[in-house]
């Protein structure tokens, strides 16, 4: 007798549209979807899926992901653990808490360390997993520890060092460990200045990022200078920045190659920010994948730079 997931997880929903749960607004349905509000919920859902050999995927804020047009043939666990606490300079937040909430609440208390994330979309779990960064700051900068669910479905606490943070990466990406919550240590600062910096970063995003269209955030990572041919470094020397080590912004390469506005179906290389692919309305995952491949091929042929996607494909 084949056991149904719903027998082990009665609250699970069937055939749930995933597009509305992502910032790209693209993709087919999840075969099953479960809203996890606590660590026990997460363990229960993973345990049920594992027992019947069903693949599962963790989804939180829905940024930095592209869902297949066919959807996900398995269980999507929606992280709804939204609890957060602030005690003195120590901040602890569940994986489902939005980054914008933390930026606002810590700034309001005059705590410095997260203002670089002003306007950053997505959740704490996603930011930790991908070591999200902007304006010279990174998630890892203020992390004390991360509570995780390991391969044996046991709760463990990893120190900052044990998280193996790298450029837009971490041990969570490498080993597919599940972030439950994160603890940050911030510094007391000037409330007005902290809020001014965060607001300035939000305004910068509104001005230069194509927020008027659904998108997944930056499509490609910036290129580590070590992987950029010397002659290309010379050509783009005025565009090189430290983030947090010397990188050549992908936006500069795409702009110089005049790829803004290039389309595939209803997916378009943004005319406002070249490192974004936007959904003009009704774009499919197939459109985005095809456009991504074309951009990578052109940049590789023209500059000898291999672009690496920052957005994760869910199929």
pLDDT value of residue 244: 73
User: Strand, helix or coil at 309?
Assistant: strand
Give the distance between the most distant pair of CA atoms in the chain.
66
68, 181, 218, 223: the active-site residue: 218
User: Strand, helix or coil at 158?
Assistant: strand
pLDDT value of residue 1: 42
pLDDT in tens, 2-53: 578 999 999 999 999 999 999 999 999 999 999 999 999 999 999 999 999 9
Domains 5-79 and 84-205 share a fold: no
Mean pLDDT (the chain) is: 95
Fold of 212-314: 3.90.78
Structure tokens at 170: 């971490």
- Give this prediction's pTM: 0.92
pLDDT in tens, 265-312: 999 999 999 999 999 999 999 999 999 999 999 999 999 999 999 999
User: Strand, helix or coil at 152?
Assistant: coil
For 39-96, where are the E strands, in sequence order?
56-59, 65-67, 72-79, 84-87, 90-94
- Residue 237 backbone phi and psi in degrees, to 5: -60, -30
Q: Is 4 a catalytic residue?
A: no
pLDDT in tens, 62-98: 999 999 999 999 999 999 999 999 999 999 999 999 9
pLDDT in tens, 216-242: 999 999 999 999 999 999 999 999 998
pLDDT value of residue 2: 56
pLDDT value of residue 231: 97
Pairing mode, strands 72-79 and 29-36:
parallel
DSSP state for residue 141 in the 8-state scheme? G
User: Strand, helix or coil at 176?
Assistant: coil
In the predicted model, what is the mean pLDDT of residues 162-167? 94
Going from N- to C-terminal start, the domains of the chain cover 5-79, 84-205, 212-314
- CATH code linked to domain 5-79: 3.30.43.10
Q: Do residues 94 and 127 make contact, with C-beta atoms less than 8 angstroms apart? A: no
Q: Is 168 a catalytic residue?
A: yes
- CATH code linked to domain 84-205: 3.30.465.10
User: Strand, helix or coil at 163?
Assistant: helix
Q: Do residues 135 and 216 make contact, with C-beta atoms less than 8 angstroms apart? A: no
115, 129, 168, 205: the active-site residue: 168
**Given a cut of 90, is residue 245 above it in pLDDT?**
no
Compute the radius of gyration of the chain from its Cα atoms: 20
pLDDT in tens, 117-164: 999 999 999 999 999 998 989 999 999 999 999 988 899 999 999 999
Pairing mode, strands 72-79 and 56-59:
parallel
Structure tokens at 86: 């602030």
Task: Name the one residue in this structure whose structure tokens are 């795409």.
Answer: 254
**Given a cut of 80, is residue 256 above it in pLDDT?**
yes
């Amino acid at each position: 007798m084949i056991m149904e997931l719903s027998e082990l997880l009665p609250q699970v929903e069937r055939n749930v549209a995933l597009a509305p749960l992502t910032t790209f607004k693209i993709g087919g349905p999840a075969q099953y979807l479960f809203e996890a509000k606590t660590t026990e919920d997460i363990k229960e859902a993973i345990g049920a899926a594992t027992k019947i050999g069903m693949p599962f995927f963790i989804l939180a804020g829905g940024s930095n992901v592209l869902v297949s047009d066919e959807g996900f043939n398995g269980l999507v666990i929606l992280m709804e653990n939204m609890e957060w606490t602030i005690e003195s300079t120590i901040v602890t937040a569940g994986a489902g808490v939005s980054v914008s909430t933390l930026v606002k609440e810590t700034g309001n208390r005059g705590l410095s360390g997260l203002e670089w994330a002003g306007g950053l979309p997505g959740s704490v779990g996603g930011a930790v997993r991908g070591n999200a960064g902007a304006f010279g700051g990174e998630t890892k900068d203020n992390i004390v520890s991360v509570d995780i669910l390991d391969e044996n479905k046991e709760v463990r606490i990893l120190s900052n060092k044990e998280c193996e943070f790298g450029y837009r990466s971490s041990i969570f990406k490498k080993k597919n460990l599940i972030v439950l919550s994160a603890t940050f240590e911030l510094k007391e600062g000037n409330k007005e200045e902290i809020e001014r910096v965060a607001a300035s970063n939000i305004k910068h995003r509104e001005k230069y990022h194509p927020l008027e269209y659904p998108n997944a955030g930056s499509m490609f990572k910036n290129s580590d200078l070590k992987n950029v041919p010397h002659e290309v470094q010379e050509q783009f020397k005025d565009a090189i920045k430290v983030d947090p080590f010397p990188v050549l912004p992908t936006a500069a390469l795409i702009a110089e190659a005049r790829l803004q506005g290039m389309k595939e179906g209803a997916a378009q290389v943004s005319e406002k920010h070249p490192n974004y692919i936007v959904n003009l309305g009704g774009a499919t995952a197939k459109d985005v994948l095809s456009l991504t491949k074309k951009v990578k091929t052109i940049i590789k042929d023209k500059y000898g730079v291999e672009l690496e996607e920052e957005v994760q494909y869910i199929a």
